[in-house]
Structure 1
Amino acid sequence: MPLTPLDIHNKEFPRKLRGYDEDAVNEFLDQIIKDYEALIKENKEIHNHAQSLQDKLNHFSNLEETLSKTIIVAQEAADDVKSNAKKESQLIVKEAEKNADRIVNDALAKSRKIALEVEELKKQASIYRARFRTLVEAQLELLSQDGWEALERAEVNREEY
């Protein structure tokens, strides 16, 4: 256990016959007490200052660690956002490609259907034309037969009666 100024002050030396000058020893002890008190005070101040610096160092170390973790978390979050955006853009592109394929396929199907309908209408028009021609030719043939003139004469004779 270290000495305190009070220990030095209260220290008593035994007296001998031819001892030291008591006043000189006491004066020297008083000087030692003052210097020792000053050293203890200075030591406490240095210790307090060192503790304060250690506290600040710990604070800044914690702050540095927190900032480092924050940067890592921010980087991970940015990577996640980037990854999610890339995945989402790929999904959008795939969906757009599917829609484009569907639209093209629908348009091709409609085009084929219309082409078939046009061909069917052409066939029907051709058949209608042929039938109409046949009908007209048959009617012309009927009109060119001799039976019509006899019918016209018979009718004229009936009107005369």
Structure 2
Amino acid sequence: MITPQDIKEKTFEKALFGGYDMAAVDSFLEEISTDLALLQRENATLKGKMKVLVDKVEEYRGNEDALRMAVVSAQRIGNIIEREARDKADALVNDATAEAARITKDAQLEVEMEKARLDEAKRSSAQFVENMELLCNRQLSFLEKVGEMDFIKEHRANRIVEVVPEQADAPQAEAPVAVPYATDPGEIHETVKRIEETVAKAADEPVSDVRPNFAPAASADDEMPTRAFHIVTDPDDDVDKTTQFTFDGFEK
């Protein structure tokens, strides 16, 4: 490559005839060398700028690759996080659904058990009431039969009218009025209370066969001997062991 210095130092042989003007040639060569030097300087400047631009472009390309890799990595991480979050959400929903189903099933079983207990309690209560009605009816039947016996009637007759001798001799004494048996409220209350206690005791603790025998008194002058009676348990009673009374020993 020709440099400005080469142009300045270039010499030509002198021609004998028809040669160029040496001064004009030297002036032209000087101008060319000056322009060439300027062009070389500008070229060097442009090459330097181009190198800077190339370096920037390479830097930008490197940054672009880094950014592209960062974007790709961010997308991949985002996809992983989204997938994990979706899996966790699905797991939580499934666990919550299973737990809700289990709680609902347990609650339904508990409700069914409570209904069964309630039905059993109703059945037991109805059976108990039925047994108590049967027991009370038997006790009332027994009391009615006992009330028809001779010694009870005699006892009632003796209590209907009780005349005190000293009151009979007193002046203007009024004759006692016959009062039916068991009309005293206190006495009625005591009788009802004894019946209730007997019913409750018979319902709570069924008794086995008991057959008390009362022997007659030794003296013939005493009162009529008490007649023997038996308290037995009905073996055919499949509801409850209740007390029954027989009246074989009572003779009118």
TM-score of the aligned structures, taking structure 2 as reference length: 0.52
Question: Residues 27-82 of structure 1: CA distance to partner in whole angstroms, max 9, x if unpaired?
Answer: 45433431331231122022012112212311321232122122212211321232
Partner of 1:56: 56
Aligned equivalents of 1:56 and 1:72: distance in 2?
Answer: 24
Aligned equivalents of 2:95 and 2:70: distance in 1?
Answer: 37
Larger proportion of helix: 1
Give the stretch that moved more between structures: 24-33 or 61-70: 24-33
Q: Give 1:81-100 correspondences, 5 Å limit.
A: 81-100=81-100
Q: Does structure 1 residue 69 correspond to structure 2 residue 69?
A: yes
Q: Does structure 1 residue 152 correspond to structure 2 residue 156?
A: yes
Q: Does structure 1 residue 33 correspond to structure 2 residue 33?
A: yes
Structure 1 residue 143, shift from structure 2 partner: 2.1
Matched residue SS, 1:144: helix
Distance 1:157 1:36, change over 3 A: closer
Aligned equivalents of 1:12 and 1:123: distance in 2?
Answer: 139
Look at both structures and tell me which one has the larger radius of gyration over its CA atoms.
2
* Amino acid across the alignment from 1:60: Y
Structure 1 residue 157, shift from structure 2 partner: 7.6
Aligned equivalents of 1:112 and 1:100: distance in 2?
Answer: 18
Over the residues paired in the alignment, what is the CA RMSD in angstroms? 3.2
Partner of 2:45: 45
Distance 1:112 1:151, change over 3 A: farther
Aligned equivalents of 1:90 and 1:12: distance in 2?
Answer: 90
Q: Does structure 1 residue 142 correspond to structure 2 residue 125?
A: no
More contact order relative to length (CA 8 Å, sep ≥ 6): 1
TM-score of the aligned structures, taking structure 1 as reference length: 0.76
Q: Does structure 1 residue 110 correspond to structure 2 residue 114?
A: no
Structure 1 residue 3, shift from structure 2 partner: 6.0
* Amino acid across the alignment from 2:63: L
Q: Number of matched residues?
A: 158
Structure 1 residue 93, shift from structure 2 partner: 1.3
Percent of pairs identical after alignment? 24
Aligned equivalents of 1:159 and 1:76: distance in 2?
Answer: 117
Please list every run of 5 or more consecutive structure 1 residues that lacks an aligned counterpart in the other structure.
none
Aligned equivalents of 2:7 and 2:155: distance in 1?
Answer: 171
Distance 1:142 1:152, change over 3 A: farther
Aligned equivalents of 1:113 and 1:150: distance in 2?
Answer: 60
Please list every run of 5 or more consecutive structure 2 residues that lacks an aligned counterpart in the other structure.
165-252
Distance 1:125 1:33, change over 3 A: same
Aligned equivalents of 2:124 and 2:118: distance in 1?
Answer: 10
Give the stretch that moved more between structures: 57-66 or 27-36: 27-36
Structure 1 residue 123, shift from structure 2 partner: 2.4
